Amino acid sequence: MSDSDNPAILEVDNLARHFPVRGFLNRQVGSLRALDNVSFAVEPGEILGIVGESGCGKSTLGKTLMGIHEPSEGEVRMLGERIASPGQKRAARIRARLQYVYQDPGASLDPRWTLRRSLHEPLIIHTDWPKEKREEKVREIVKAVGLPVEHLDLYPHEISGGQQRRVGLARILVLGPELVIFDEPTSGLDVSVQATVLRLFRDLKSEFDLTYLFISHDLAVVQSICDRVIVMYLGRIVEIGRTAEVFAAPRHPYTQALLSAAPVIGGPRVTENFSLQGEPPDPSNVPSGCRFRTRCQYATSECADIDPELDDEDGHGVACLRWRELSV
Ligand SMILES: Nc1ncnc2c1ncn2[C@@H]1O[C@H](COP(=O)(O)OP(=O)(O)OP(=O)(O)O)[C@@H](O)[C@H]1O
């Protein structure tokens, strides 16, 4: 998947996560396929976005990569080491190197603790560093996220929501992660705050040599910050490629519909400006063949029989049987 001279920081192979659907007397009556046959690699230093409608499996993917959910099939490797596979417990050793940031990292601060205590805590748990070394690290990170070190003696209620968010990020960065998974990090923020937060993410990324996986339903944000993007539909990757390319010339009918409905810079080059009709199907009862076919205006009978694999051309992959003929 990645060449050996430049190993991917994260490799995801045929990952699936299914949740049991229970009926009468708690008997399992089916299976909800939140994630199926997902494969991709994250290159060191990149920001890889994951987009798709609500319920397409973005968060399930993030949580399965983190080992919060156990994979039903497939495996995840970090720098060549397997960190998640069916039956495998969360790989504790790797935890500090791979961090997950929920929507508002500041919300998880303990109101009874000073910021200093909140920031020392992860280091107490994950390292055997003496107090002085911890304090040095905490001060370095607090400055990096743009807060004065004098704030370390304050409690969360004594600082603003934006500053709490910075402290939440600092709590993650003290551990020295290499890969950070952000799950809807700008949701609920107004546009000017969003711009500040995105600038902070970029600055921290270059200062600490980080790689980001950036889960978001906000296409404009993804367009502005991500190097590459994965488009998901009903638990599958339908398109993957460099953000500029995918946004300028989307190949999958789903991506075309998604982009034509959203206010993004430049807008996509699509032949017809068609919008998505209806809701995605129930993931506990996925359509045969291509999962998008029930909402696709180009679907043929073949699309009901064949489940398309990602067809990669120059690093731009698309899972659609008809994309070549539709793009001429
Ligand atoms: N713990 C769970 N148990 C059962 N079903 C789940 C669980 N977590 C997620 N699902 C289901 O898996 C599917 C994918 O959900 P997921 O939260 O990953 O989507 P999403 O793309 O992140 O959506 P959103 O943008 O709304 O957060 C949904 O149908 C959801 O109901």
Same-domain pairing of 89 and 238: yes
Same-domain pairing of 132 and 233: no
Per-residue pLDDT tens over the stretch 119-161: 999 999 988 999 999 999 999 999 999 999 999 999 999 998 8
pLDDT of residue 84: 84
Same-domain pairing of 280 and 170: no
Q: Of the candidates 125, 159, 176, which is a domain's last residue?
A: 176
pTM of structure: 0.91
pLDDT of residue 269: 47
**Binding-site residues, ligand 1, Cβ < 6 A:** 19, 32, 34, 52, 54-60, 217, 283
pLDDT of residue 268: 53
Give the CA count within 13 Å in the CB-facing half-sphere of 18. 19
pLDDT of residue 37: 94
Cross-strand partners of 28: 22
ipTM of the complex: 0.96
CA of 22 to the centre of ligand 1 (A): 16
CB crowding 171-192: b at 16 or more within 10 Å, else e? bbbbbbbbbbbbbbbbeebeee
Q: Classify 222 as helix, strand or coil.
A: helix
pLDDT of residue 60: 94
- Cβ 68 vs Cβ 100: under 8 Å: yes
Nearest CA to ligand 1 atom 24: 54
Alpha-carbon span 218 to 238, nearest angstrom: 17
pLDDT of residue 192: 84
pLDDT of residue 265: 61
Reading the block at residue 164, the tokens are: 């709490």
Which of ligand 1's atoms lies nearest the C-alpha of 20?
Answer: 4
- Which residues are CB-neighbours of 235 under 8 A, at least 6 positions away? 33, 34, 35, 36, 38, 56, 57, 60, 283, 286, 291
Quote the distance between the C-alpha of residue 153 and its chain's center.
Answer: 33
CA of 19 to the centre of ligand 1 (A): 10
> Which CATH number does the domain housing residue 91 bear?
3.40.50.300
**Alpha helices, H only, 148-218:** 161-173, 191-208
- The reply to whether 314 falls in a domain is yes
- Cβ 157 vs Cβ 76: under 8 Å: no
Same-domain pairing of 119 and 214: no
- The reply to whether 5 falls in a domain is no
Same-domain pairing of 69 and 120: no
Q: Of the candidates 176, 200, 235, which is a domain's last residue?
A: 176
pLDDT of residue 264: 61
Domain, as residue range, for 203:
10-97+177-326
Q: Of the candidates 150, 176, 202, which is a domain's last residue?
A: 176
Mean pLDDT of each 10-residue bin along the chain, 328 residues long: 67 95 86 94 96 91 90 92 81 77 83 95 92 96 94 94 90 93 87 88 93 93 95 96 95 91 59 64 90 92 94 94 87
Nearest CA to ligand 1 atom 20: 55
Same-domain pairing of 254 and 320: yes
